[in-house]
Structure 1
Amino acid sequence: MGLNVYLSGEIHTDWREQIIEGAQGLDLTFTAPVTDHAASDDCGVAILGAEPDKFWHDRKGALMNAIRTRKGIEDADVVVVRFGDKYKQWNAAFDAGYAAALGKSLVILQPEAHDHALKEVDAAALAVARTPEQVVGLLRYVLTGALPD
């Protein structure tokens, strides 16, 4: 039994790489949004043309990124959403809500300091993890039934 896992959320740390590395040997396929911040912000105007107003500049990029995000979440068996320490990650909260609305198995990865702010998001999740290693352990358990050593 293989699983498709979509890794959403914070793009400023290497949490995705930690999960992918830790899950080596497991029957998992990982997908994610574009994590190059500049490319994600500017894809719309770079491909579809310049916009003089920043709102429309951002909107073009957001709509193009939504194509990838929707496909990744819709195809996923498990959606992992990371909320990091820096920045307000509204897009991560939106992805978590979209995944929950689709009935996806949702795992939230967040520091304890976010527990109160994310209580509704956490309530929609099947698990709340604190570290990438916990996410790997969860995925290993789901696939194999094996507990960590």
Structure 2
Amino acid sequence: MKQNQRGNTMRYTVYLSGEIHTDWREKIKTAISEKNLPIDILTPNTDHGSSDDCGTNILGAEEKHFWKDNKAAKINSIRHMTAIKRADIVVVRFGDKYKQWNAAFDAGIATALGKSLIVEHAEEITHPLKEVDAAAMAVAENTEQVIEILEYLSRDY
């Protein structure tokens, strides 16, 4: 494991942003645990209904869908922004099922904050994500590659 100047083991904090419809986060968490990597994981709320309804559930109903979404987005952004700021590395996964504008936004914020960015997506969506890919330190085509990158970064050389 890497050590800092004082000889203490260096830990990474990694924020896993992006699509919420597959088990990619669990695969990464399991690999980190099994390989005993010095990595702490932060995530957004991955319960779609809870995330979408948090604003109206907490602050009250809205007549227009725009304001319902606006309330939820602002509350959720507290978590996202805090996690991105705390993270050493931000991993953003783009799935093929939906256009994930929020994931692209997280990638932009991470880049603006000078965070190390790893992007994961299928080869088929490389063209629409070319600007995001250009800002990334690594572009992976699958979760296994992301795990390998995290393992590599955690090795003591």
TM-score scaled by structure 2? Answer: 0.91
Task: Give aligned-pair identity as a percent.
Answer: 58
1:77 paired with 2:91, answer no
Residue of structure 1 in register with 2:136 after alignment: 125
Q: Structure 2 residue aligned with 1:100, among 108, 111, 116?
A: 111
- Offset from partner CA, 1:83-114 (integer Å, 9 cap, x none): 00101100000000000000000000100011
Residue of structure 1 in register with 2:65 after alignment: 54
Q: Structure 1 residue aligned with 2:31, among 18, 22, 28?
A: 22
Does the 8 Å CA contact 1:79/1:99 hold for their aligned counterparts? Answer: yes
Gaps of 5+ in 2: 1-9
- The count of aligned residue pairs is 146
Residue of structure 2 in register with 1:136 after alignment: 147
1:64 paired with 2:75, answer yes
Does the 8 Å CA contact 1:22/1:133 hold for their aligned counterparts? Answer: no
Residue of structure 1 in register with 2:16 after alignment: 7
Q: Which amino acid aligns with 2:18?
A: G
Residue of structure 1 in register with 2:6 after alignment: none
Q: Which amino acid aligns with 1:10?
A: E
- Offset from partner CA, 1:7-53 (integer Å, 9 cap, x none): 00000000000111112210110011000000000000000111111
Residue of structure 1 in register with 2:3 after alignment: none
Does the 8 Å CA contact 1:85/1:111 hold for their aligned counterparts? Answer: yes
Does the 8 Å CA contact 1:22/1:136 hold for their aligned counterparts? Answer: yes
CA RMSD of aligned residues (A): 0.9
CA positional deviation for 1:145: 5.1
Q: Secondary structure at the match of 2:16?
A: strand
Q: Which amino acid aligns with 2:108?
A: G
CA positional deviation for 1:143: 1.3
Q: Which runs of 4+ in 1 moved over 4 A?
A: none
Greater Cα radius of gyration, structure 1 or 2: 2
Q: Secondary structure at the match of 2:95?
A: coil
Q: Secondary structure at the match of 1:5?
A: strand
Gaps of 5+ in 1: none
Q: Comparing 127-136 with 95-104, which one deviates more in the overlay?
A: 127-136
Does the 8 Å CA contact 1:80/1:107 hold for their aligned counterparts? Answer: yes
Residue of structure 2 in register with 1:87 after alignment: 98
Aligned-partner Cα distance in 1 for 2:71–2:156: 44
Q: Which amino acid aligns with 1:36?
A: D
